[in-house]
Amino acid sequence: MVRRNPRHVWTDAEIDDLVRRRLDGTTSAELAKEYGVTPDALMCAIRRHRGTSRLKVLDIKPERRRNRFFQARIARKWTMEHAAEVIGVAETTLYGWENGTISPRGYNAYASAKAYGVKLDWLLGYEEE
């Protein structure tokens, strides 16, 4: 177990690892114990870094990505409201991803792929059908 200074500055790599492991089912209590912090401090660090994660999305295939977000949601037979709730974003944000006006970033892109049960590269349009 690594003990963290209460004022520890989390690196992007640490946050990315925490996000991936949290979405893969590791509880925040288990992660907090491993990192030597409280679960609240751990989740606060993740939320604080949500927008600055290195898991950024490049706009290589925006038209393909736009279709994939819609296809993945419809394949699950989810309403936009339900999908937004599961992923943890506003409906307007999900609408923007589906119509291609905005791009998902970092944690949200990974959370979407996890929620829809698809590979991140496929969802973002980097892989063929």
d(CA 49, CA 43): 10
* Closest by Cα among 96, 107, 92, 89 to 66: 96
Tell me: pLDDT of 116 over 80: yes
pLDDT of 10 reads 75
Global pTM exceeds 0.85: no
